[in-house]
Amino acid sequence: MRLTQAAASGLQRCFGRPHVRLPYAAHRPSAPRWCRAFSDIKNYDEDDDEIPASKSIATFGEGEKAPMVPHVLVIPTHKRPLFPGVVLPMTITNPDVTKALAALRESGQKYVGVFLKKQGGKIGAASKDEMGFTGMESQKDEDLVTDLSGIHHVGSYARIDNLINFENNSAAQLLLVGQRRITIDDVHDSGTIPLRVTISPVENPAFDKSNQMIKAYSNEIVATLREIVKMNPLFKEHMQYYSQRIDIHNPYILADFAASVRRALGRCCMLTSRCQVTTGDGEELQSVLEELDCENRLKKALELLTKEMELSRVQQSIKEQVEEKVTKNQRQYLLMEQLKTIKKELGLEKDDKEAMLTKFRQRLDNFKIPPNPDTPDAHLSHVPKDILDVVEDEMNKLAMLEKNSAEFNVTRNYLDWLTLLPWGKSTTENFDIVAAKMILDADHYGLSDVKQRILEFIAVSKLLGKVQGRIICLVGPPGVGKTSIGKSIARSLNREFYRFSVGGLSDVAEIKGHRRTYIGAMPGKVIQCLKSTQSSNPLILIDEIDKLGRGYQGDPASALLELLDPSQNTSFVDHYLDVPVDLSRVLFVCTANVTDTIPGPLLDRMEVIRLSGYDGPEKVAIANQYLVPKALEKSGLKDSEHVPPSLALPDDSIQDLVKRYCREAGVRNLEQHIEKIFRKVALEVVENLAKEAGSDDVVANFNISPDKLHKYVGQPRFTSFVGALDVALWIDATCATRERMYETLQPGVVMGLAWTAMGGSSLYIETTTVQSKGGKGSLLSTGQMGSVMEESTKIAHTYARHKLELIDPDNAFFESDIHLHVPEGATPKDGPSAGCTMVTALLSLALNKPVKADLAMTGELSLTGKVLPVGGIKEKTIAARRSGVTTLVLPFGNQKDFNELPEYLKDGLDVHFAKEFDDVFKVALDYSDCDGAK
């Protein structure tokens, strides 16, 4: 049975069709001759999967005696031509061709013409697919020739050695043996399908036996064939067989034999047709077939044979390298296994699984060590019993699993996470308020609210004798130190610090972990924090909590509800661990720029501490205490012998930076500008060092007096200080634009105040009338306003009409169309705090009276004229002072916020607190008759 299967495999390789099966009894004497040729038991070798040639198939040169017929059926080949003396098995699937072959067999004729298809040539008519559309030639049409322009006219006169037709002539298998060269003369009958052509034999011309070139080429071909046999022993059997039937003295036959040799090292023999030969290879072989000159034919055949030999050498080299590497790896693996076995027998080493279990047991024993051995419950573990039970069960499960199974790795990773968590381990808290206050003050300037809250936390923990987890949310503009204060809090409390950002996070698994069934599953960020810090009471900073995303993986904000709820996080269950973890001792600190985007239930669980932006004096103090020393150290100018001692950045320069370049609420931009200044100073220092390389004392050249400093850094670039006007030389930026757009306000223009995440700024409201026939009193608003601000414009328009009717009933201002605009249209704006400003601008335009000079205001306005409180009073006050405002109108509800401001911000400001719009109207337009009109 094995021989039958081997013969079937050989036939499949010959015909190139996986569905073709060799007859079951092909190896029996009663089988057809061509089947016995492929299943010759005497020539079969189990170590060689190629099919040996049978004596009954071909002998090179015998085809010259084959009888010629006047016309033959055309059979095309697509890969390579058929040489005389070579066997070519084929499968025909075109019904017309199979019928023609069956007719040939019935008539007793067994010769056909085999011709190579040209590269890119078409040999048949366009066929139609199953849908009825005409397309490229189908597989069935590849065997049908109806156009001679697509084939080469020089081919082989071949004998059909064997032919098997399938049912209904749907396909046929035949074995062709090349006999001699032929050329097409003409079409025999153009009406027949497939084509029959008249042929003429191509005779080899006589050659000069004494030609030295012919002898040299012949000897070189024989030598090359011997080299191929040496490189591939599997090819040796075929060469030995054909060498007995080749007339070496006939150079024509030798050239044909050499050209027909295929890639021996690729385990392809001359009898197979599955060897991957490119179209270019087929054209080169066709040129050998068409060549009649003996010397040229030998030359072309030798070139092809040399290419095959070079390819065989490369393949042999690759094979040897791979075998050498594989053999080396196998040898190392075998020696390692033997070494493990020997050590195991001697008791010197355990296998990997036992070593792993031992490691887990040691960790489990460490769990059972109580915090205080002198306590009565010293024999008990400080780890929950259910955790110990899970670890024991998983270890027993791991002991029963095979090392190569997927479940083994999953269980091992799970045990690794369980045994590495700090069950019951924690750092000793610092309850020293004085030391904590010193640490907080040393790291950050200001932030009194945050520092006060941390000191309260320490005091409560000290009185209670235990520490409870808290959730604090720091809300403020960028750059005010929200993230850095978290590190200082952890240092003041002597806690481990861990930070992760949830900005843009949309996968719940990042918070609660993945299920163990997933490939590459791992716990969530909180469990990773516990493993990283090895403490059950760390400080976890959740950054950018106001920028949480939401996707198809779930809602992370909802997942944080359990995490940040003190009543629930005592038994937080991660999806990966699937056991409760106590997070009640963890101090969570969240940061956000705004609270508007934080979900209400999540915001309700946090204690919000708002951080307002820094004003000018605070920024100068922060720069002197923190930013300048840090920038000097980063730029290499601190304690350097090459830097003049007169180097300094005075307060005047920092104030100019704050006023002209760094008006945001935080100090991040100020830090970048200071670093930029000192980087340029460092460049000047290095350039001067290079200039003075030839001097005997380079350091002395830097210890110069102020009158010589211009030689190195220019005038007035950087001497003993950087002047306020010199800062622009160090920063590649234009001076900041003035926030005051109008020196003198015209009717209909009022300065408002806005507050964003970046700080406070002035916000002008501009109004004008649109002259048009048939005005309807409509209001057009522009300036990229949000929905809330759009509603404020409608409220302002309605209230202004009502107010004007009370003040000046005869005024027909609101019968005209009005355009209200907020400058800087490229910047989105939203919020209700511009309501009072809009009404004031409309009334100013209606009365044709400008508002009071150096006036700014803010406040939300209701439809009945109530002035409602707004946020960002400190930032808006800073923006007002920056714009040169002397009179400020604020809502009465913000009086407490204004009183908490530093005195230097309030000095020089005439502040009016308004309960109703009439209070605003009196100050802005100096309209004393307002009460009487009302």
Left, alpha or beta for 250 (phi > 0: left; psi -120 to 50: alpha)? beta
- Determine whether the annotation assigns residue 483 to a binding site: yes
What is the Cα–Cα distance from 254 to 248, expressed in whole angstroms?
6
Calpha distance 270→281 (Å, rounded):
15
The SS3 assignment for 420 reads helix
Nearest-10 Cα torsion for 100, 105, 109, 110: 90
- The response to whether 482 counts as a known ligand-binding position is yes
Quick check: helix, strand or coil at residue 43?
A: coil
Question: Using CA atoms, how far apart are residues 616 and 629, in angstroms rounded to an integer?
Answer: 19
The 8-class DSSP code of residue 429 comes to P
* β-strand partners of 175: 89, 162
Please give the distance of CA 894 from its chain centroid, rounded to a whole number. 49
Instruction: Using the structure block, give the residue that is written with the tokens 């932006």.
Output: 613
**486: nearest Cα among 497, 502, 476:** 497
Tell me phi and psi for residue 156, to 5 degrees.
Answer: -125, 140
**Contact (Cβ atoms closer than 8 angstroms) between residue 665 and residue 758:** yes
Are residues 769 and 817 in contact, defined by beta-carbon separation less than 8 angstroms? yes
Considering the candidates 833, 844, 874, 883, report the single residue annotated as catalytic.
Answer: 833
DSSP string, 556-590: HHHHHHHHT-TTTGGGEE-TTT-SEE--TT-EEEE
Q: How many CB atoms lie within 10 A of CB 903?
A: 6
Cβ atoms < 10 Å from Cβ of 46: 8
> Binding residue per annotation — 538?
no
Residues 6+ apart with CB under 8 A from 333: none
876 among known catalytic residues? yes
Q: Is 596 exposed, middle or buried (0-12, 13-18, 19+ CB in 10 A)?
A: exposed
Cα angle for residues 134, 140, 143 (degrees, 5° grid)? 115
252-262 burial code (b ≥16 CB/10 A, e <16): bbbbbbbbbbb
Cα 723 from chain centre? 48
549 is in an annotated binding site: no
Please give the DSSP secondary-structure letter assigned to residue 851. Answer: P
Beta pairing, strands 539-543 & 587-592: parallel
Whole-angstrom distance, CA of residue 653 vs CA of residue 867: 41
> How far apart are the two ends of the chain, measured CA to CA in Å?
115
478 is in an annotated binding site: yes
Q: Is 469 annotated as a binding residue?
A: no
In the block, tokens 């931009």 appear at 669
Q: Which of 79, 117, 829, 876 is catalytic?
A: 876
Show Cβ contacts of residue 136 under 8 Å, excluding neighbours closer than 6 positions.
Answer: 126, 127
Task: Give the span between the Cα atoms of 212 and 828, in whole angstroms.
Answer: 93
Helix (H, G, I), strand (E, B) or coil at 158: strand
Residue with tokens 């060498």: 243
Which positions ≥6 away from 375 have C-beta within 8 Å?
Answer: none
CB-CB neighbours of 736 under 10 Å: 12
Burial status of residue 528 (CB atoms within 10 A of its CB: 0-12, 13-18, 19 or more): middle
Which DSSP string corresponds to 50-89? SPPPPTTT--TTGGGGSPP-SEEEEEEESSSPPPTT-EEE
**Does the annotation flag 476 for ligand binding?**
yes
The one-letter amino acid at 225: L
CA 249 to chain centre: 67
Residue 501's DSSP bridge partners are 543
Q: Answer yes or no: is 477 a known binding residue.
A: yes
Q: Give how far Cα 911 sits from Cα of 188, 892, 896, Å.
A: 114, 11, 13
Indicate the DSSP class of residue 852.
Answer: P
Neighbours of 185 (CB within 10 A): 13
Q: Which residues are annotated as a binding site for ATP?
A: 476-483
**Catalytic (active-site) positions:** 833, 876
Annotated binding-site positions: 476-483
